Structure 1
Amino acid sequence: MMTRVDVFEDIFLVFLGLGTLVGIIVVSYTLYNAYKYRDDGTRDPDEDLPTLGELPTGGTGGKKLFVSFFLSAIIVISLVLWTYGMLLYVEDGPDDPGEDAIEVDVEGFAFGWSFYYENGAESSNEMVVPVDTPIWIEVTSTDVWHAFGISDKRVKADAIPGERDVTWFTAEEEGEFLIECFELCGPGHSAMEADLIVLSEEDYEEWLEEQLTLTLDLEDADGESVTDADNVEVTLSSDDEVVATYTGDDFEDGVLEISVEQGDAYTLTVESTDGSFETVELEDVDIVDGPSETVTLEEPGEDDDNGDDDENNDETDTDDAGGDD
């Protein structure tokens, strides 16, 4: 599949080749006529030369002029139509980008870039994509006008608040490339940069998995790490539907790694299989950008004991107050 870089390189090479060819022909023909009709100082007595102010007559009726204009028109019109078709391809993208095409939402702000991927992963000032894969980006801004651009990939899109500009590109080689803002947007404009990181397909999948992985640590009421999780059961749910359930066998030294396919807000429930600690429920856990959560396991009745102590303290305070009266 042809990329944007390929299109612009082809246009450049065609214009360069035609320009060079036309230049050679024009210069060569000019030099040829300059040599052929040079004044060598000799005169034929029978030569009928025009006098000063007399219009020349004869010739071939302008055939050379007509042929030259005709050929030039064909070349120019063909070049314009071909270039227009190539630029339409750049504007609209390939007809069949394939199922592996990736969509990324880009938000510009003063003074940086945020990237949001299809599966809910997010990154800031760092756009990570796989090599040889069509990338469709939808660009907007959260404050003022910006312009998203990757010079090495021939990509540029306006970032305007309330509007979305769609464009695409394909990276043909791994590496890091510069993302810049091409719209004067304020005092931090020159530093409004980000990195385009192009990875292999395997490394990209690994990066995505890291972004959507939650590390869950367990600790007791004293803040000590819990390494024995045989009696622990963890349930991950979204919209009251269970996504996954983990048992003690899934823990490693009291640490559990939870991976999801879609970035979202989840409810995390940590329960005891033998009633040795109170159930802990964490709501709106956002598993994005490789976060970690620490859950404190408290023995049953600790909260109740605290509550009874508070009530006793309240009664004592009341009695003391009555005694003073």
Structure 2
Amino acid sequence: MPLQQTRVDVFEEIFLVFLGLGTLVGVVVVSYVLYNAYKYRDDGEPKDDESLPTLGELPTGGKGGKKLFLSFGISAVIVISLVIWTYGMLLYVEDPQDEFDEEPAEIEVTGDGFAWYFEYANGVEEIGTMRVPADKPIAIQTTSGDVWHTFGIPDLRVKSDAIPGEYDETWFMAEETGEHEIKCFELCGKGHTAMTGTVQVMEEEAFNEWLNSQLTLEVEVVDQNETPVTEGYEMTLEHTENDQYEEDLVHTYTAEDFDENGTISLDHEDLQQGGEYNVTITFEDGQYETIEKTINIDGPSSETFTAGSANESDNGNGTNESGHGGDGE
């Protein structure tokens, strides 16, 4: 069953219903006041109308208060019905899981240092810009690394507390491509007004291409003279949290998998999941020291490992040139 309404749809419907009823009540009340003002206006002539109140006497008529009780009864029914309907709509906003016809894309949002950090389910991380596919539910978890923040996307009617040590869950869905501003709605310090970001809504195909392009790793193995090492070694990549995933995130490559420049390029199909990896490179015949290092893959990354002589203490851990790539669109 497809998602029937987005958050924007729900809050706009609530607003329009309240606006319509408020306008109707206002028109009725103002009309009744004007009617009575005209009916009982003072034109300087005596009135024989028995329904006119007499000074010092209780008013008569009104059919024993039936009109009063009827008006109160109708008002009570309208108000109670409105409360129940609104509560049901807000429950839908809080937990529409049964309405999703597909698994929502998951993003963890962290507010820290007057900036927003976004981590996707595959381990890719971004700062300041959250890219999402259009017309697909997005489930977010918000937290904070320093003080209390409130993550909000006004255009999409999203607001979620970001509290240190806690996770608040919410969702949204953007039906059209475009950009929306992210703001912090909790006074959090002198950089509060600058704590903004952007939601970039992309076509699903373009989003998937971008997300896959972020999970890449280029590894180069050279000797101390910066000459490519092209034979006689094996490299193993093992995710530091391998036991937490269903798939086996241990990958082994031999020198034959590297090109003539001692380089191998891995993409999302090879890595499957971003995060921290333990890298181990062992060399045959003890020609070089074994290289062991932990690297973090949270975007397009490159690593150069320098093989040190087995006779030297330097194990050649290499240089880390990891970093986020561009838009990748």
Q: TM-score range by the shorter chain?
A: 0.7 to 0.9
Moved more, 245-254 or 146-155: 245-254
Deviations 1:162-185 (A, max 9, x none): 222111111222222222222222
Deviations 1:133-155 (A, max 9, x none): 22222222222222222212211
TM-score by length of 2: 0.76
Which residue does 1:321 correspond to in 2?
none
CA contact (8 A) 1:234 1:246 kept: yes
User: SS where residue 76 of structure 1 aligns?
Assistant: helix
Is 1:237 the counterpart of 2:237? The answer is: yes
Question: Which structure has the bigger radius of gyration?
Answer: 1
Which residue does 2:293 correspond to in 1?
283
Q: What percent of counterpart residues are identical?
A: 53
Q: 2:133 aligns with which of 130, 133, 156?
A: 130
Within a 5 Å distance, the mapping from 1:1-325 to structure 2 comes to: 1=3, 2-43=5-46, 51-217=54-220, 219=222, 221-223=224-226, 235-238=235-238, 242-243=250-251, 245=253, 251=259, 255-259=263-267, 260-268=271-279, 281-296=291-306, 303-304=310-311
CA contact (8 A) 1:150 1:179 kept: yes
The alpha carbon displacement at 1:214 in A equals 0.5
User: SS where residue 129 of structure 1 aligns?
Assistant: strand
The alpha carbon displacement at 1:10 in A equals 0.7
In 2, Cα distance between the equivalents of 1:46 and 1:194?
A: 69
The alpha carbon displacement at 1:197 in A equals 2.0
In 2, Cα distance between the equivalents of 1:167 and 1:48?
A: 59
State the one-letter code of the partner of 2:37: A
User: SS where residue 83 of structure 2 aligns?
Assistant: helix
User: SS where residue 95 of structure 1 aligns?
Assistant: helix
CA contact (8 A) 2:238 2:279 kept: no
In 2, Cα distance between the equivalents of 1:134 and 1:265?
A: 28
Which residue does 2:326 correspond to in 1?
none
CA contact (8 A) 1:105 1:116 kept: yes
CA 217–32 in structure 1, closer or farther in 2 if over 3 Å, else same: same
CA 291–38 in structure 1, closer or farther in 2 if over 3 Å, else same: same
In 1, Cα distance between the equivalents of 2:48 and 2:121?
A: 88
The alpha carbon displacement at 1:265 in A equals 3.1
Structure 2, unaligned stretches of length 5 or more? 243-247, 314-329
The alpha carbon displacement at 1:9 in A equals 0.6
The alpha carbon displacement at 1:258 in A equals 0.4
Deviations 1:118-143 (A, max 9, x none): 21222222222212222222222222
In 2, Cα distance between the equivalents of 1:149 and 1:50?
A: 57
CA 257–234 in structure 1, closer or farther in 2 if over 3 Å, else same: farther
User: SS where residue 60 of structure 1 aligns?
Assistant: helix
CA contact (8 A) 1:215 1:292 kept: yes
The alpha carbon displacement at 1:236 in A equals 4.3
In 1, Cα distance between the equivalents of 2:142 and 2:49?
A: 78
State the one-letter code of the partner of 2:141: E
In 2, Cα distance between the equivalents of 1:186 and 1:44?
A: 69
User: SS where residue 289 of structure 1 aligns?
Assistant: coil
Deviations 1:195-241 (A, max 9, x none): 222222112212221221002345565436x5x96x58764432697
In 2, Cα distance between the equivalents of 1:175 and 1:5?
A: 15
User: SS where residue 61 of structure 1 aligns?
Assistant: helix
The alpha carbon displacement at 1:250 in A equals 6.9
CA contact (8 A) 2:236 2:252 kept: yes
CA 49–147 in structure 1, closer or farther in 2 if over 3 Å, else same: closer
CA contact (8 A) 1:139 1:157 kept: yes
Which residue does 2:320 correspond to in 1?
none
TM-score by length of 1: 0.77
CA contact (8 A) 1:267 1:281 kept: no
In 2, Cα distance between the equivalents of 1:271 and 1:44?
A: 111
In 1, Cα distance between the equivalents of 2:53 and 2:273?
A: 88
Structure 1, unaligned stretches of length 5 or more? 308-325
CA contact (8 A) 1:219 1:294 kept: yes
In 2, Cα distance between the equivalents of 1:118 and 1:5?
A: 25
State the one-letter code of the partner of 2:149: H
User: SS where residue 262 of structure 1 aligns?
Assistant: coil
In angstroms, what is the RMSD of aligned CA positions?
Answer: 3.3
